[in-house]
Structure 1
């Protein structure tokens, strides 16, 4: 018995080892027009598109559902591009660099409206912003480009590639549409379908009105229909049937008392602090940092904004319970003031090989401007427009909050 099991086990292991050592094992995920897509190439396309989606949505990771959507979209795009690629190649249809430049110059393509290269005032694609970025990136290529610049360049490379594929598809579809000619029979049928009118009466009997006893269905009929229709409902993604228990976790009376005590102590400490609020807020482990700037009421949480008029300068308001987010809060009003809600500015952004050279270049530009140099002409020297822009308080506060998060 021991010998038989040992031989069987060896045969099993040897069989698996033979499969591993077999050459020419298929590692393809699909095939289009005879061209196989390897798993490695497919994974590379998925990773590329994943980074594009994350950058577009401003997130650091995708959940399982979003990842599956990315995989489906990558495969769909691959199939479409391969099918069109074969046809346009045989027809001699191409897209020249000049055509892509015309698309960028027009700036109305939907893909361009999704990029970060948009004018903050108009919200439209800004070709100057793109050129400025490409110039800065090319200067950094000799050194080690920052991770953010590298990611943004990969994003733009994807957009540029997609623009070419999109233009090829447009050309091919236009060619097909122009090749379709109407005939007299079809034209007459279309005309009759639009002009002919009929008077009719009809009646409908809902299924719910038909008693089950009036219909007899054989088991063989059910099986026949099942076999006929089952391919329509085939699922290509793995699914699981699960059972779970939904337990709502709520704070106990002891938990609430402990939180209330902690907030009471922090409130008392906040009332006694008169300087160096940054160090105090950091010592409490607060998730919201202290920013020594006046904030517009609209930038504050709604529960705080609603109570501002009831709080005096230098006093602490709270603790109070906020039912909308189930929190206990306190805040202190340090100052109130009136300020302009927007500022007009111009800027020239430059990046050199390292921080020291960047600072030296910035200093030379600053010195030139102080000496009376023309701002716009100097900006054009570095591939920028030098145009004035408006920045509102709301935009600045949202930007600051985004950077903090």
Structure 2
């Protein structure tokens, strides 16, 4: 008992610790190890503030839909990557500015907020939304009418919420404007800066130089030491700051592209389809049944079809068959289904309803029908557009969008209209109100005008992609699987050589990359690379397009200043030039004039005139910043020491400078410099905030 009493504290501590450990282990088992893994619901953490994945995805979807609507382009992996990066930068900038605004206590007071909406000089976004289309002037009466409507019992709750959200965005934007004003108001250009800038652009120099090109010494004759690399690295260390983590991997690919036999089999199939196509009486149904790409048939004007069809179909009779032919990796056969004349362009206005916020497509259609009845009962289309449309750009113009042709192309190349919208607008009568659903939502459309006349054709196209057969794919996959089975961490290069394969590299891949040179749709590979360790081999065969690939992670470049080892390959050419420069500079040694220097080195003396500091281009050579900078810092008639330039080693002598006329208007010069600073300031402020931010970025694993 005495023994137990003396050690009771330690015994209790042991059991309490054991119980806590058991609890943690059970939680790890139950939740799949979430104690030790990043929360998969968080895309990032910025200065302690979480960025939920679902919220980011909502913004991403909005930006993607907006891109589709404005550009009319298909969303490729490259475009997806661009939209993701843009959305991320928007999110990051908003969070960073919010933090700074809160820190500085920047606010928008109640009176100021009211003035932004209903004052004599409302915010530009308010003014644009309530501009009279006829006069182009802000219509305050229309704004007051709308505000009265929102305060009435008739206004729907969602319209009030949309307006409230809009005002919040307006106030946040005003705070950001104030913050940027604090920064830009601190920018100042003094008279000396104005004078230096003026002289840099107008002071001329005439000089002579002799140059020995780095290429005059073969690379094979230069031996690089560790000291050479260390010296260069230490002198240029500031240049090796990595803004984000980068990874590189090596890979081999096994081709699963269609064989000649595969192509011949598909040609036989398309020949059979062609014979049946000739006899078809329902071309639209035939396309839906037999074509890989089930594009709805639509009338198109000349220039919209691919060139070979364009020239054939507009000079053919209804029922004409063209093909089979190869286009875009498919065998195709085309049939002229119909020919007619239609309007050259149609002008419409619309109100767009978002099914996601309305509770589904059916409810969005029902709401569009309700608004349609209100307009038919006398309500203003423009007023309803401002009230209900989620397309704020057109809503501010009364719902109007630019005229478009039968192919949906807007006037002035402003984008492309959805096919459903286009087809319905061309079928409707002038002045008619119609409800149409497209990829962008539910549209309430009013046809305002239909102009001109143009010949259009409806062409039915059946396509059969030239794809690899299962036999071809199985053979390629089996080879890839067999190669993977023979690999260890240490024999990758040996196995590549043994099998006679070509090893390729993907260098400095970002965590959000979706496509790589020669590898489209390679997102799975990038995700793997950001979960692997250096030297790791993939444990599976990746399918990328018509290739099966095996990968090995070769390098990880962390965010921050990179080590010498990480940049050694990158800086080798520059280090080699530095070593060559020492040998070349020695050839100029002992000379006292430019002619002697050239004669000793076996080089030519080249005269140059009228070079300015702001444009350091030496005629016939590349930009030579270091050389031209040295020239403008030299005394006339004095032979320079050897200067290591971008292309070689130079010696020079300045013949003289031509000074410009005295600066007559320093104020104008200051304004020009200040304008440049102002244009760059917002981007540089955000860059500085990003550099100083503590960001835990999980995009590489979650997107």
TM-score by length of 2: 0.38
Task: State the distance in 2 between where 1:82 and 1:140 align.
Answer: 32
Q: 2:344 aligns with which of 341, 344, 366?
A: 341
Q: Does 1:103 align with 2:124?
A: yes
Please list every run of 5 or more consecutive structure 1 residues that lacks an aligned counterpart in the other structure. 1-10, 113-127
| 1:310–1:261 distance in 2 versus 1, CA, 3 Å | farther
- Describe the shift of the 1:246–1:325 C-alpha distance in structure 2 as closer, same or farther (beyond 3 A): same
Rounded to whole Å, the distance in 2 between the matches of 1:301 and 1:212 is 50
C-alpha contact (below 8 Å) 1:299/1:398 kept by paired residues: no
Aligned to 1:273: 280
Q: Specify the alignment match of 1:317 in structure 2.
A: 321
Which structure has the highest helix share of the two? 1
Secondary structure, counterpart of 1:333 in structure 2: strand
Computed over aligned residues only, the root mean square deviation of the Cα atoms, in angstroms, reads 5.5
2:265 paired residue number: 258
Which digits, 9 at most, give the CA deviation of each residue in 1:281-311, with x for residues without a partner? 33325423443x5432333333322211453
CA distance in structure 1 between the aligned counterparts of 2:38 and 2:246, rounded to whole angstroms: 21
1:168 matched residue in structure 2: 178
Q: Aligned to 1:328, which of 328, 331, 353?
A: 331
The 8 Å contact of residues 320 and 336 in structure 2, kept in 1 or not, is answered as yes
Q: How do residues 146-185 of structure 1 correspond to structure 2 at under 5 angstroms?
A: 160=170, 163-164=173-174, 166-177=176-187, 180=188, 182=190
Between 383-392 and 228-237, report the one with greater CA deviation: 383-392
Name 1:222's counterpart in structure 2: 229
Q: Does structure 1 conserve the Cα–Cα contact (< 8 Å) formed by 2:324 and 2:331?
A: yes
For each residue in 1:343-384, what CA deviation from the matched residue of structure 2 results, as whole angstroms up to 9, or x when unmatched? 345667899995557546634643x4xxxx6xxx64355356
* Secondary structure of the corresponding residue to residue 334 of structure 2: strand
1:239 Cα deviation after fit: 0.7
The 8 Å contact of residues 346 and 387 in structure 1, kept in 2 or not, is answered as yes
Q: Give CA deviations for 1:199-219 in whole Å, capped at 9, x if unaligned.
A: 443444333346789988753
SS at match of 1:141: helix
- The answer to whether the Cα contact below 8 Å between 2:348 and 2:403 also exists between their aligned partners in 1 is yes
Q: Deviations over 1:210-258 (max 9, x none)?
A: 67899887534533543564564254314132222363713323x2332
The number of residues matched between the two structures is: 339
**Residue aligned with 1:335, SS:** strand
Unaligned runs of 5+ in 2: 1-17, 29-34, 69-74, 130-141, 387-397, 410-415, 422-437, 441-703
1:300 maps to 2:302: no
Partner of 2:381: 379
Deviation, 1:400, is 0.9
Q: Which SS does the other structure have where 1:241 is aligned?
A: strand
Equivalent-residue separation in structure 2 for 1:91 and 1:343 (angstroms): 44
- Calculate the TM-score normalised by the size of structure 1: 0.59
Higher relative contact order (CA 8 A, sep 6+): 2
Measure the CA separation in 2 of the matches of 1:387 and 1:74. 30
2:214 corresponds to: 207
- 3-state DSSP of counterpart to 1:205: strand
Which residue of structure 2 lines up, in the alignment, with residue 5 of structure 1?
none
- Could you tell me whether the CA contact under 8 Å between 2:404 and 2:417 is conserved in 1? no
CA 1:310 to 1:251, structure 2 compared with 1: closer, same or farther past 3 Å? farther
> Judging changes above 3 Å, is the alpha-carbon distance between structure 1 residues 56 and 95 closer, same or farther for their aligned structure 2 residues?
farther
For 1:393, what is the secondary structure of its paired residue?
Answer: coil
Change (3 A) 1:223 1:247: same
Q: How does 1:43-192 map to 2 (within 5 A)?
A: 43=53, 46-47=56-57, 49-58=59-68, 59=75, 67=84, 70-71=87-88, 74-75=91-92, 78-79=95-96, 82-83=99-100, 86-87=103-104, 89=106, 96=113, 98-99=115-116, 101-105=122-126, 107=128, 139=156, 141=158, 160=170, 163-164=173-174, 166-177=176-187, 180=188, 182=190
Structure with more of its chain in strand, by fraction: 2
CA–CA separation in structure 1 for the residues paired with 2:367 and 2:65: 29
Q: Is the 8 A contact 1:344 1:390 kept in 2?
A: yes
8 Å contact kept, 1:267–1:330: yes
